[in-house]
Structure 1
Amino acid sequence: MSRATAVVRLQLVRRTTWFLVPLGIMLVAGVATVIIQLAIQRATGMSPSSPGYADSARNNPALAWSVSGYLVATGVASISSVFPVASSLGTTRRGFAAGTFLTHALVSAYLAVVAAAMLGLELLTGHWFVGIYVFDTAILGAGNVVVLLLVMFLGSLTAFTVGAVFGGVWLRFGPRGPLGVAVVAVLVLAGLLLALAPSLADIAAAFEFWWLAVVGVALVLVAAGGTSLSLRGASVR
């Protein structure tokens, strides 16, 4: 465990990368959401008290998706850029994989707590005083702080670990590694879609939110396992 915590300290040397940049992206996405929703209010004549306005405004996934690409890229860099340094310092491959996963979990928890705090502020101010829905959105639980914490934590951790596995296979197999993983992922998704196509309507009707949590946990476990396996044979570049 001490080796893993040493890796966490090494990873978190880049505090701006882990903490400030994703926060900045979330704030920029929030400002963009405010501008767009105000423009919609002016263009349509709708007000926050109009029937159906809240439901429509909550169907805005911008905040949830805005930071995901950056988190995936950071996950890649946390393996491809830091592994050579950690190896030169005597860190074992298993310790590096465990410590990097702990780092991803820690930062994911931080993002979830920040989002929960912003949701609280949004609700206290009556949606930023002008009926703007930024954190109180359907994809983040429509004001349910427990759901928001789960979505933000699990979503961020999934993005980090998916990026990490791409970084791991790049170290192990070179440029062909990420390409191979992407091709396999597309083929698996296409196969599942074809197999489930006759039942998609029934699945959609029976859909439960917790299914996404199960899928997220499964992706995290598969990606973390793939990262650990790829690092066993990875060369220090």
Structure 2
Amino acid sequence: MTATAAVPAAVAESSTRIRPVEIWRIVRLHTVNPSIFFIVPTLILAGAWAVTMFVAYLIIGVAGVPAEETAFTYSWAVLSPQWYLIVVGVQAIAFTFPFALGFGATRRDYWVGTGLMFVLISLMYAATIATLLMLERATGGWWIGAGMFDALWYVGADWLTAFYTTFSLQLLVLFIGAAVTTVFMRWRMKGMIILLFGSVAAVLSLVAGLTLTESWPAVFAWLGSIGLVGVFTVVLGLAAACSVAGYLVIRRATPR
């Protein structure tokens, strides 16, 4: 009787404790196919840079338009890897979740390991973009007056601010992709349809509510009061919310 009762207790204890080795195995699992996290995002960023430099050369070098009269500070090219990172979040879950469970990982270990991978990747690319921003400024726009990284909210930002804002945004898009994939894994197409229409309805309701109550000025005033770092702290909070939501869903998701 004593031995029989001790088994469930041991199982329960093992299922509640943090297992660093298993979590790190999940991180390594995500690196088996390096193209998803490393190669493709790097190629997208490099390709966006090459196109920007070519266009800048035509406008500034060939056409002779002064660099200060160009619109590179409004370019969205610096965000080119972000759109793909949503796909990365989807692929990270869809491709590895069944294998992880097959190798004996718990859903919690898998989600913590995946989240750790997201954090490491976001740290790497945030440091890269912030450093390239500083290099772009130091070279006067890559010696031709072109601006790819010194654009949008990065204009005037120091290295730490550029790093923090990029890190927050990348974590958000990664966890959005991952959380959406967990919905598909648990409820399949029915869940995706409900999520899509529910999200659209929620956004439209929010926009309508702010418009009808004439609250937009107050919203913009609040965003202005918290500053750039404050806005991206909100973005980081949304990333954390997506992470928690994804974990709650994946706890009962079954790979098929």
Regarding TM over 0.5, the answer is yes
In 2, Cα distance between equivalents of 1:129 and 1:108: 29
Corresponding residue number in structure 2 for 1:63? 78
- Residue 116 (structure 1) shift: 2.0
Corresponding residue number in structure 2 for 1:132? 146
Corresponding residue number in structure 2 for 1:31? 50
Task: Tell me the amino acid that sits aligned with residue 202 of structure 2.
Answer: V
- Residue 185 (structure 1) shift: 1.9
Give the 3-state SS of the residue equivalent to 2:215 in structure 1: helix
Corresponding residue number in structure 2 for 1:187? 201
Pairs within 5 Å for 1:1-237:
1-41=20-60, 45-48=64-67, 50=68, 53=69, 56-64=71-79, 66-197=80-211, 198-206=214-222, 207=224, 208-237=227-256
Structure 1 pair 180–44 and aligned structure 2 pair: CA distance change class (3 A): farther
In 2, Cα distance between equivalents of 1:81 and 1:20: 17
In 2, Cα distance between equivalents of 1:176 and 1:231: 16
- Residue 71 (structure 1) shift: 0.5
In 1, Cα distance between equivalents of 2:201 and 2:237: 18
Asked whether the equivalents of residues 118 and 135 of structure 1 are also in contact (C-alpha less than 8 Å), the reply is yes
Asked whether the equivalents of residues 68 and 156 of structure 1 are also in contact (C-alpha less than 8 Å), the reply is yes
Structure 1 pair 31–231 and aligned structure 2 pair: CA distance change class (3 A): same
- Residue 141 (structure 1) shift: 4.4
Asked whether the equivalents of residues 172 and 233 of structure 1 are also in contact (C-alpha less than 8 Å), the reply is yes
Superimposed CA distance per residue, residues 15-43 of structure 1 (whole angstroms, 9 cap, x where no aligned partner): 22211211110111111222233344468
Asked whether the equivalents of residues 131 and 159 of structure 2 are also in contact (C-alpha less than 8 Å), the reply is no
Identity %: 26
Moved more, 169-178 or 183-192: 183-192
Structure 1 pair 221–19 and aligned structure 2 pair: CA distance change class (3 A): same
Give the 3-state SS of the residue equivalent to 1:135 in structure 2: coil
Dislocated runs of 4+, deviation >4 Å: 42-45
RMSD of equivalent CA atoms: 2.0
Task: Tell me the amino acid that sits aligned with residue 21 of structure 1.
Answer: V
In 2, Cα distance between equivalents of 1:94 and 1:175: 24
Superimposed CA distance per residue, residues 174-205 of structure 1 (whole angstroms, 9 cap, x where no aligned partner): 12223322222222222221222212134335
Asked whether the equivalents of residues 68 and 159 of structure 1 are also in contact (C-alpha less than 8 Å), the reply is yes
TM-score by length of 1: 0.89
- Give unmatched runs, 5+ long, in structure 2: 1-19
- Give unmatched runs, 5+ long, in structure 1: none
TM-score by length of 2: 0.83
The size of the alignment, in residue pairs, is 232
Asked whether the equivalents of residues 185 and 253 of structure 2 are also in contact (C-alpha less than 8 Å), the reply is yes
In 2, Cα distance between equivalents of 1:145 and 1:57: 19
Structure 1 pair 43–192 and aligned structure 2 pair: CA distance change class (3 A): farther
Task: Tell me the amino acid that sits aligned with residue 75 of structure 2.
Answer: N
Task: Tell me the amino acid that sits aligned with residue 216 of structure 2.
Answer: L
Asked whether the equivalents of residues 23 and 112 of structure 2 are also in contact (C-alpha less than 8 Å), the reply is yes
